[in-house]
Amino acid sequence: MTLTSPLHRRSKLGGTIALATVTVLLASAATPAQAASPSPAETWSERAVVSYDALQDHLYLGAAGHQLYKLNTGDEVNPYSYLWEYREASQATADLQGVRGIGGAYANVTRQRIANFELYYNVREGGRAGYESYLPAPLGTGGDVFYDDNSIIGLTDVRQFRKTGDPAYLEKAEHAFDIVVRGWNTDATLECPGGMDWVDRPDNADRGANITGLAAQLAAHLYEQTGQADYLTWSKKLYNWNNKCLKTSTGLYANSINDAGEVNPTLWTYNSGAMIATATILYRATDDAKYLQQAKAAARASLKYWTAENRLQQQPAIFNAFYFRDLLLLDSVSHDPSYRAAVEQYAQLIWDTNRDPETGLFHFQPSGGGDYNPSRPAATLDQSGVIQIFAILAWDRRDLGNIS
C-alpha cells in the first residue's frame, strides 16, 4: 500500500459515485453564490492534487522502497528511478507546498523528499563528491555526477530555504554549487573556451546550454541570498558564455558545443527558461535594468517561437515545466498576461488530451512530449512535470517571486 497525498480526493468507483451524489445534493440546495464555479487557481490546485495522487498510487514505492519512486509503470531493470526523476517528484511536492490553503499539508513530506536527496550522494576516491545519477551502494550501483542534476538539486534547496528560512537548506544549495562549478571547462584551446561540461568524467566532450544556464541561475540565487560577490561573478560569467557561444537568436539556445567545435543546434524550452530566470534574478539582485530588458526580450521572442507550429506541445513536459516556472518568475517582477496565458493553454491541452482518466496518469510520446500514447508506460518524470505546471498555476501571484 502506498501513501497518497495529504489531500487525497480520488477514490475507487463506489466512492466516486457517492461523492458525486453528495455534490449533486449540495448543489441543488445551494444559493447561486454558493454554486459558483471554482476559480482558475482552485481548478489548477485540484488538478495538481489528483495528479499527485496518481503519482503516489502508481509510481511511489513507499517505506519498503525507501520512499523513492519507480522510473515508470513498465517493467524496469532498476528498482528505483534515476536522480533526475526523483528530484522532479520532490520538486512537484515542494510546488504543492507553495499552494496557499493546502500547502501546509505537504510540508513534512517535502522535507522528507529533500532529505532523501542524500541517498544519491557519494564521495568518491580522492574526495570528489556529488549527487550521482543513480543510487550508490548499498541501494544501487551508483552513476555519474551530471552537473545539470546537481544544479537542480541546488535550486530545490534554494526554494526550500526561501519557504522555511532554515539556513541548512541554503548551505546545501551552496554545497551543490561547489560541486557544479567543477564543471567549468578551462581548456583555452577549444572553440569558444569556457562553458560547463555536462558530466564529471574524463571523456566528457560536450559543453551544454542546459547546465551552463542552470548553473548561472543557481549562482544568481545564491548571490541574492548571501551577497557574496563570487556568486555574482560566476552567474554573469556563465550567463554571458551561453549568450556568446550558444545563442541562436533572442531567447533561443543551441543544445551544446563539443570539443571539436561542432554545435548541436537542437532547441529546448528549458534552455530558454534558465536564461530568462537568470536575468530576472540578476535584475532583482543588482537593480541593473539591462537584465530585466534582456529577460523580457528573451521571453517575448521565445514565446513567439515556441507557441508557433505546435512546437510547445512537442517539447518534453518536464522541459516545459522548467520554462513555464521561469516565465512566471519573470512575471512576478514585470507582469505580462501572455506568460500565464501560454502556460494555461498548454496545461489545459495536456489535461484534455494526454491524461488517462481511469488512472490519472499522463502519457506522452517516447520523447516525453507530444500526443497521447497509451502504449508508452507512464513516467515519473512526465507526471512530475505536469504536477509542477498545475501547482505553479495554483500559486497566488504574490508568491511567484519564490520560484527557483
Mean pLDDT of 160-169: 97
Could you read off the pLDDT of 176-186 as tens digits, one per residue?
Answer: 999 999 999 99
CA distance 39 to 353: 22
Beta strands in 67-180 (DSSP E): 121-124, 128-131
Alpha-helical regions (H) of 32-106: 40-58, 83-97
- Helix, strand and coil content of the chain, in percent to the nearest 5, comes to 60, 10, 35
In the prediction, which pLDDT does 105 show? 97
Mean pLDDT within 373-398? 97
CA pair distance 252, 245, nearest whole angstrom: 12
- By DSSP bridging, strand 206-208 and strand 128-131 are unpaired
What is the per-residue pLDDT across 1-54, written as a single tens digit (0 to 9) for each? 333 343 433 332 233 323 333 333 333 344 444 557 889 999 999 999 999 999
For residues 71 and 380, is the Cβ–Cβ distance under 8 A? Answer: yes
